[in-house]
Amino acid sequence: MRLSQSFIKTLRSAPKDETARGAQYLSRAGYIYKELAGVYDYLPLGLRVLDNIKTIVREELNNIGAEECLMSTLQNPEPWIKTDRWDIEKMDIWFRTQLAAGGELGLGPTHEEPFTEMLRNYVSSYKDLPFAVYQIQTKFRNELRAKSGIMRGREFLMKDMYSFCATTEDHDKFYHEAEKAYMRIYDRLGIGNDTYETFASGGVFSKYSHEFQTICEVGEDNIYYNKDKSVVLNEEVLIDEVMNDLGVKRDELEMTKAAEVGNIFTLGTKFSAPLGLEFTDQAGERKPVLMGCYGIGISRVMGVIAEKMCDDKGLVWPENIAPYKYYLIGIGDEGMKKAEELYHGREEEILFDDRDLRPGEKFTDAELMGIPYRVVVSDKTLADGKAEVTDRKTGETKLVALTEIF
Amino acid sequence: MRLSQSFIKTLRSAPKDETARGAQYLSRAGYIYKELAGVYDYLPLGLRVLDNIKTIVREELNNIGAEECLMSTLQNPEPWIKTDRWDIEKMDIWFRTQLAAGGELGLGPTHEEPFTEMLRNYVSSYKDLPFAVYQIQTKFRNELRAKSGIMRGREFLMKDMYSFCATTEDHDKFYHEAEKAYMRIYDRLGIGNDTYETFASGGVFSKYSHEFQTICEVGEDNIYYNKDKSVVLNEEVLIDEVMNDLGVKRDELEMTKAAEVGNIFTLGTKFSAPLGLEFTDQAGERKPVLMGCYGIGISRVMGVIAEKMCDDKGLVWPENIAPYKYYLIGIGDEGMKKAEELYHGREEEILFDDRDLRPGEKFTDAELMGIPYRVVVSDKTLADGKAEVTDRKTGETKLVALTEIF
């Protein structure tokens, strides 16, 4: 992208109620625009980050055989009434709306019910199982308070996956595949080293669920970990019974702030039974399907990474999700000419700052935007056939031969 | 995709209130699922078609320099009050919802207001203009009646683009670029030959707007055309003044049913003036920005193509947007083995029917799903190193050497 052709420019200030540092940078650097608390627009750079995250998530889920769908936002109350989740007392984050033709609808805060209901058309025998479906779709949750920028939104992009199995063995097998896929996703997103699978409270059908928590100063959760025993617990399960289960003592656990970046949950027949998603097993008996659900907040992860990976100059994107890999600047006549040449054919990986600005302003913007490598071509560096390449993360600058940069 | 691993199977019947033939096929072939009238889910095959349409639209808009964003669904009333479009009397298709924290919000039926408002942060001088932004995003319109499957939805996927210029010349230039991009899009979607740019009613800032209408039996519009003079009019502008303008007489015009697949509109300062999106011109004077808007209903276009391109056996997708290019069937031991071999490495272009079904059932599904080429490898065809390739559109079958198919 040529910055001279983009409407984006960096701003001096962020919305004044934006307290988290990453969220301030995302606003100032032209990644997001705040519509209202918990509701954001994604500008070209921000959309590219979201898309990069989506691609990684999609690839890893396709790899474990899950199929992608796209479910509607508008929700018919019926299936939610059957599972007892329509009532505001039971689920207090519903946004509701009225059909002009009559009748109340909800805006989907999650999608167990519509997937379960839809799949009644597609499941009849054990031969139709197991399988998993997912979607990357906008969710709506009527939070009383929304804060921390895109980390906790009222409208946000989520990947939600659901598995459907005939037997506990098949369910456990897929659940484990999903756990591994999640860790591969966090690795590729650049937060693998700081992301832990934690024990969290379960439900009727399983003692525990699991969360994926990324160590992060502005995270909303406290997690308790023991590195030697590879045990990590959420605060809600920090009780004797659970610690006994996992073979750790309270004083062996260290606390740290963390942000949830995913969760997986064994649902059993919680949704399939009331909604009648059944199959005929090998003995000819009708049984409800065993389900699991697996979430990753796509826009939330972007928010967590922005908070976690920034310094006093701005954002510091991991290479895999950065909107562009290189921030290119040409200085002087020859430098500008060579920069044009280098940009040509590399439009997808280079953010080319061809604006009529002083180099210092461009350097500041490159840092605020957090592009991994700044490449400066000047008349001076060109004398040796080189460019100055600066690593955003380390700040280290090297002279590199033009033929070896890209 | 391996059909044996997918949850999708073809269904014997469509929802009973689904009257349009294409919509019935889309349901039966496993492309869409009806949540309620005008609200649909996209199943794996359907999502692939949507994605193929999105890719074509995106490429052509990026080519004319437009930048992609993603705006929010939840809408703050303020800017809509300023442009006098919040009132239900003025805009009767609003879905409204209440914030738990207090206050009413709308679900975006279009996005002139939020784009205009957001861009006040990015436009100050004539040097910041011209530019264009677009998004591919879910829109909500509270239609009293929704019909014709995904052709007219209450929740639907739309591409909406907006241009921002300092001068009429720049606006006209971009408008013309957009017209050309639209025709390239329809060409690539496989409906170029039957899609016409029509004169439609304008507004305060231009005498006419333009629609793109595709000839289609179940279309909701009547268009009037004269092939020799290359003039096409919407019914609403079929009046003497307009016919005089365009140099045609009523009896020179033929009528046909058509479906709108896009529209472009000169907005002038209709939104920029009340919302204060201004720039300083070369003389130092403050002026409102000149805007245009440019829509394509992505899911609607998919619906129109499904209606237009189907026969008594099912859907007939154009190659560019088909979910897969080939439907592969192996018959007999050698045939199945060779089919597995051919599938390997071509997972993205082949829908492999490896299910334990009779060939006749597979042939019927291949036709219903409308995959462009059916490839059958049997012990018999293999004797000559060939496969039977059937063109879904013409029904023509040829024996083709295996090395020459893909």
Q: Which among B5, B68, B95 has CB closest to A47?
A: B68
Reported confidence tier of residue A39, pLDDT bands at 50, 70, 90:
very high
> A99, B69: Cβ pair inside 8 Å?
no
Reported confidence tier of residue B229, pLDDT bands at 50, 70, 90:
confident
Residue B324 touches partner A, C-beta closer than 8 Å: no
What pLDDT is stored for residue A317 in this prediction? Answer: 98
What pLDDT is stored for residue A395 in this prediction? Answer: 97
Q: Which of residues 126-165 of A touch B (CB under 8 A)?
A: 128, 131, 133, 138, 140, 142-145, 154-155, 164
Classify the phi-psi angles of A182: left when phi > 0, otherwise alpha if psi is within -120 to 50, otherwise beta.
Answer: alpha
Contacts of B93 in chain A (CB under 8 A): 100
Do residues B181 and B134 make contact, with C-beta atoms less than 8 angstroms apart? no
Residue A5 touches partner B, C-beta closer than 8 Å: yes
Strands A326-331 and A373-378, bridge-based pairing? parallel
> A39, B72: Cβ pair inside 8 Å?
yes
> A74, B121: Cβ pair inside 8 Å?
no
Q: Mean pLDDT, chain B, as a whole number?
A: 96
Number of residue pairs across A and B with CB atoms under 8 Å? Answer: 147
| B259/chain A closest Cα distance in angstroms | 24
- Counting every residue written for chain B, the total comes to 406
- Which H or E element spans position A197? strand A195-203
| pLDDT tens digits, one per residue of A224-235 | 999 888 889 999
Q: What percentage of chain B has pLDDT greater than the value 70?
A: 100
Report whether pLDDT(A127) > 80.
yes
What pLDDT is stored for residue A336 in this prediction? Answer: 96
Q: Which among B30, B72, B145 has CB closest to A40?
A: B72
* Interface mutation vs chain A, best among B72, B143, B156, B324, most A CBs within 10 Å: B72
Reported confidence tier of residue A21, pLDDT bands at 50, 70, 90:
very high
* Interface mutation vs chain B, best among A5, A6, A31, A33, most B CBs within 10 Å: A33
Q: Which of residues 27-46 of A touch B (CB under 8 A)?
A: 30, 33, 35-37, 39-44, 46
| pLDDT tens digits, one per residue of A60-113 | 999 999 999 999 999 999 999 999 999 999 999 999 999 999 999 999 999 999
Q: How many CB atoms lie within 10 A of CB A270?
A: 20
Q: Which among A36, A43, A67 has CB closest to B6?
A: A67
What pLDDT is stored for residue A58 in this prediction? Answer: 98
* Interface mutation vs chain A, best among B9, B31, B95, B111, most A CBs within 10 Å: B95
The helix/strand/coil state of A149 is helix
> B67, A44: Cβ pair inside 8 Å?
yes
Q: Which among B41, B74, B119 has CB closest to A70?
A: B41
> B47, A33: Cβ pair inside 8 Å?
no
| A115/chain B closest Cα distance in angstroms | 9
Task: Lowest mean pLDDT of A60-74, A192-206, B15-29, name the range.
Answer: A192-206
Handedness of CA A19, A20, A26, A32 (dihedral sign): negative
CA angle A318, A32, B267 (to 5 degrees): 140
CA A339, CA A337: separation in Å to the nearest integer?
5
> B75, A101: Cβ pair inside 8 Å?
no
Residue B397 touches partner A, C-beta closer than 8 Å: no
| pLDDT tens digits, one per residue of A161-171 | 999 999 999 99
Do residues B8 and A122 make contact, with C-beta atoms less than 8 angstroms apart? yes
What pLDDT is stored for residue B221 in this prediction? Answer: 93
Q: Which among B7, B9, B101 has CB closest to A144?
A: B101
CA A358, CA A204: separation in Å to the nearest integer?
63
| pLDDT tens digits, one per residue of B32-63 | 999 999 999 999 999 999 999 999 999 999 99
> B65, A5: Cβ pair inside 8 Å?
yes
| pLDDT tens digits, one per residue of A307-365 | 999 999 999 999 999 999 999 999 999 999 999 999 999 999 999 999 999 999 999 99
Report whether pLDDT(A147) > 90.
no
SS3 labels along chain B: CEHHHCCCCCCCCCCCCCCCHHHHHHHHCCCEEEEECCEEEECHHHHHHHHHHHHHHHHHHHHCCCEECECCCEECHHHHHHCCCCCCCCCCCCEEEECCCCCEEEECCCCHHHHHHHHCCCCCEHHHCCEEEEEEEEEECCCCCCCCHHHCCCEEEEEEEEEEECCHHHHHHHHHHHHHHHHHHHHHHCCHHHEEEEEEEEECCEEEEEEEEEECCCCCEEEEEECCCCEEEEHHHCCHHHHHHHCCCHHHCEEEEEEEEEEEEEEECCCHHHHCCEEECCCCCEEECEEEEEEEEHHHHHHHHHHHCEECCEECCCCCCCCCCEEEEEEHHHHHHHHHHHHCCCCCCEEECCCCCCHHHHHHHHHHHCCCEEEEEEHHHHCCCEEEEEECCCCCEEEEEHHHCC
Report whether pLDDT(B146) > 90.
no
| B345/chain A closest Cα distance in angstroms | 14
Residue A69 touches partner B, C-beta closer than 8 Å: yes
| pLDDT tens digits, one per residue of B274-321 | 999 999 999 999 999 999 999 999 999 999 999 999 999 999 999 999
Q: For B40, name the nearest residue in chain A, comparing CA atoms only.
A: A72
Contacts of B122 in chain A (CB under 8 A): 7-9, 30
What pLDDT is stored for residue A293 in this prediction? Answer: 98
Q: Which among B40, B71, B100 has CB closest to A41?
A: B71
Q: For A299, name the nearest residue in chain B, comparing CA atoms only.
A: B70
Q: What is the mean pLDDT of residues A271-299?
A: 98
Q: Which of B388, B384, B340, B399 is nearest to B363 (CA)?
A: B388
What pLDDT is stored for residue B147 in this prediction? Answer: 75
Residue B93 touches partner A, C-beta closer than 8 Å: yes
> B97, A97: Cβ pair inside 8 Å?
yes
> A73, B140: Cβ pair inside 8 Å?
yes
**Cis, bond preceding A359 (omega within 30 deg of 0):** no
* ipTM tops 0.85: yes
> B69, A42: Cβ pair inside 8 Å?
yes
> A107, B97: Cβ pair inside 8 Å?
yes
Residue B91 touches partner A, C-beta closer than 8 Å: no
The helix/strand/coil state of A53 is helix
Contacts of B35 in chain A (CB under 8 A): 71-72, 74-76, 114
Report whether pLDDT(B206) > 90.
no
Reported confidence tier of residue A41, pLDDT bands at 50, 70, 90:
very high
Q: Is B401 exposed, middle or buried (0-12, 13-18, 19+ CB in 10 A)?
A: exposed
> A44, B35: Cβ pair inside 8 Å?
no
Q: Which among A42, A118, A138 has CB closest to B73?
A: A138
Q: Which of B372, B74, B91 is nearest to A39 (CA)?
A: B74
Report whether pLDDT(A117) > 90.
yes
Residue B116 touches partner A, C-beta closer than 8 Å: no
Report whether pLDDT(A122) > 80.
yes
Task: Lowest mean pLDDT of A129-138, A203-212, A397-406, B123-132, name the range.
Answer: A203-212
Beta-carbon contacts of A123 under 8 Å, excluding residues fewer than 6 positions away, are A129, A164, A277, A278, A279, A289, B7
Q: What is the mean pLDDT of residues B214-233?
A: 90
Residue B70 touches partner A, C-beta closer than 8 Å: yes
Q: Which among A5, A33, A114 has CB closest to B118?
A: A33
Contacts of A123 in chain B (CB under 8 A): 7
> A95, B97: Cβ pair inside 8 Å?
yes
> B73, A72: Cβ pair inside 8 Å?
no
Q: Which of A307, A286, A267 is nearest to A20 (CA)?
A: A307
Residue A107 touches partner B, C-beta closer than 8 Å: yes
- Between helices B21-28 and B298-308, what is the axis angle to 10°? 100
CA B296, CA B94: separation in Å to the nearest integer?
20
CA B54, CA B42: separation in Å to the nearest integer?
14
Reported confidence tier of residue A7, pLDDT bands at 50, 70, 90:
very high
